[in-house]
Amino acid sequence: MATEPSIPMPPRDLEAIEHIDSTLTFPSFTAQTAWTLGVALRNKLLAFPKPCVIDISLAHGNHCLFHATTHPGTTIDNDHWVSRKRNTVLRWGQSTWYAHNKFSGGEAAFAAKFALGARAGEYAIHGGGWPVRVTGVAGLVAVVVVSGLKQEMDHGVIVQTVGEVLEEMGVEVGEKKKED
Query: CA torsion sign, 65 to 168 to 99 to 97?
Result: positive
Q: Are 89 and 130 in contact (CB under 8 A)?
A: yes
In degrees and rounded to multiples of 5, residue 81 shows phi and psi of -60, -40
Map residue 59 onto helix, strand or coil. Answer: coil
Q: Where are the domains of the chain?
A: 14-63+77-145+154-168
Average pLDDT, the chain: 92
End-to-end CA distance of the chain: 54
Helix (H) or strand (E) holding 166: helix 151-168
What is the rounded radius of gyration, in angstroms, for the C-alpha atoms of the chain?
16
Per-residue pLDDT tens over the stretch 124-147: 999 999 999 999 999 999 999 999
pLDDT (0 to 100) of residue 4: 76
Kindly state the average pLDDT of the residues 52-66.
94
Helix 151-168 to helix 31-45 angle (10° resolution) is 130
- Does position 2 have pLDDT exceeding 70, yes or no? no
Instruction: Give the whole-number percent of the chain exceeding pLDDT 90.
Output: 81
User: In whole angstroms, how far apart are CA 104 and each of 14, 17, 58, 94, 129?
Assistant: 11, 15, 28, 15, 17
Q: pTM, whole model, 2 decimals?
A: 0.92
Kindly state the average pLDDT of the residues 1-28.
88
pLDDT (0 to 100) of residue 22: 86
Q: Is 3.30.450.150 the CATH classification of the domain at 14-63+77-145+154-168? A: yes
Per-residue pLDDT tens over the stretch 156-180: 999 999 999 999 999 988 755 444 3
